[in-house]
Structure 1
Amino acid sequence: MWDAETGKEQERLVDGEKNDSRRIDQIQLSPDASLLYLVTGERLFINKCSVAKENRIFLGLGCGVKWFGVNPAGITYLGTNDAGTALMMVKDPFDEDARDKLLRTSHTHSGPIDLLAGVGDSAVVTVAGGVLRRWKADSDEPVWEQKLDEKAQPAHLSVGAGGTIVAVADKGGGVHLFSAETGKAAGTLSGHTGPVRAVAFNPNGKQVVTGGEDKTARVWDAKSGKELAQLEGHTKAVTGVGFSPGGDMIVTGCADKTARIWAFTK
């Protein structure tokens, strides 16, 4: 963890050399910012940021996690079977008896789930087999389905604040926007000169930040699709992006082994 204002390292939470950890594939704060979710290898780990430093990493459910999502109600969505075709919904995947406390296992797909993200308190969107779907927690049938362009190669999925818009980053270089209510196309963000690896919304829902293999991160107007800024300086692919809770800072992670913090003026 780092101080956002000074860039000084505050604490090393996971050390692969000491803990025999695999690479960290995903990192996400819980809705109340009290927990840090880490996906390492094929298992889900959690870090309780508010407790003493000893014994802070807890092993989660070993269910071949490729992607996961947490909604504002604190429900965690995980891949569940070896084929990766269904979702498991659980309140606390890190409880010792979590497997006995499943809220639901459903949303079965015909093929492996490539991407997923929580929408609001009771829904989730997924990408599988080139199709974007929205699901409700209490139904086994999707609310809507939207077939993506045949040439699209989805790389990342994000949902805007309020759960009204969905963004799908494409390895082809674009970011496609869809209405979370209807699934209808809502625009495309075009400008990257290579595959787009990451996408995230400003908490206010008005801007989108993307990162790509062209070594840049770009900021867009979510409504008009206009490019607002281009963040340059990384020397390799930008693989992670995000806004601060106040929306006034952007953080980018890169294959050049650096993370950078940028001031953002709305």
Structure 2
Amino acid sequence: LLATAAVDGTARLWNAATGQPVGNPLTRRTGPVHTAAFSPNGALLATAGMDGTARLWNAGSGQPVGNPLARQTNQVSAMAFSPNGTLLASGHDEGTVRLWDPATGQPVGIPLTGHTGTVFAVAFSPDDAVLASAGQDSTVRLWVALPSRSPADR
């Protein structure tokens, strides 16, 4: 599967081999969808956008999973799952990065601050320990994504 985000407020799943849409568009928001990210096992799709909400979807059925993640007052411009699937990172237009527990939909820790403009990209290291964010302010920041891990475990 391939996922796309669109300015019409939808995300779509596509068969990457045939280019054909799979199921109906995923809709539950107002305003453009800026980002879509699959969980590592492909079972979940996270979408978010201009209205400040992020939602999880069952990638197989196209149905929403749980309630939207806590609504933000600012646009969500980037999302990424950690490689082990236990964290979801979101980048926001006010320069913050937030971590979420995709199993519960609840925030993890406090917002990560430091960028002075929109966070356009977020990505985890393969060992889940470091989160990188890149912003409009032309900086890349590195964050300890799993503070409970000791340096010896990394």
Q: TM-score normalised by the shorter chain: which range applies?
A: 0.7 to 0.9
| Equivalent position of 1:161 in the other structure | 40
Cα separation, partners in 2 of 1:238 and 1:133, compared to 1, 3 Å? closer
Query: Aligned equivalents of 1:209 and 1:150: distance in 2?
Result: 19
Q: Deviations over 1:104-141 (max 9, x none)?
A: xxxxxxxxxxxxxxxxxxx2223454443323345565
Cα separation, partners in 2 of 1:221 and 1:150, compared to 1, 3 Å? closer
Task: Check whether the contact 1:174–1:192 (CA below 8 A) recurs between aligned residues.
Answer: yes
Query: Aligned equivalents of 2:31 and 2:52: distance in 1?
Result: 9
Task: Check whether the contact 2:55–2:64 (CA below 8 A) recurs between aligned residues.
Answer: yes
1:247 equivalent in alignment to 2:128: yes
Q: Give the letter for the 1:136 counterpart.
A: N
Q: Give the letter for the 1:211 counterpart.
A: G
| Equivalent position of 1:149 in the other structure | 28
1:226 equivalent in alignment to 2:117: no
1:205 equivalent in alignment to 2:85: yes
Task: Check whether the contact 2:80–2:123 (CA below 8 A) recurs between aligned residues.
Answer: yes
**TM-score in terms of structure 1 length:** 0.50
**How far off is 1:192 after superposition?**
2.8
Range with greater deviation from structure 2 (256-265 or 124-133): 124-133
Give ranges in structure 1 of 5+ residues lacking alignment: 1-122
| Equivalent position of 2:52 in the other structure | 173
**TM-score in terms of structure 2 length:** 0.83
Cα separation, partners in 2 of 1:141 and 1:191, compared to 1, 3 Å? closer
**How far off is 1:175 after superposition?**
1.0
> How many positions carry a matched residue from both structures?
144
Query: Aligned equivalents of 2:90 and 2:114: distance in 1?
Result: 15
Task: Check whether the contact 1:131–1:145 (CA below 8 A) recurs between aligned residues.
Answer: no
| Equivalent position of 1:51 in the other structure | none
| Equivalent position of 2:151 in the other structure | none
| Equivalent position of 1:196 in the other structure | 76
Query: Aligned equivalents of 2:120 and 2:11: distance in 1?
Result: 22
Range with greater deviation from structure 2 (146-155 or 135-144): 135-144
SS at 1:162 equivalent: coil
RMSD (CA atoms): 1.9
Give ranges in structure 2 of 5+ residues lacking alignment: 149-154
| Equivalent position of 1:26 in the other structure | none
Cα separation, partners in 2 of 1:184 and 1:255, compared to 1, 3 Å? same
Identity %: 31
Cα separation, partners in 2 of 1:177 and 1:256, compared to 1, 3 Å? same
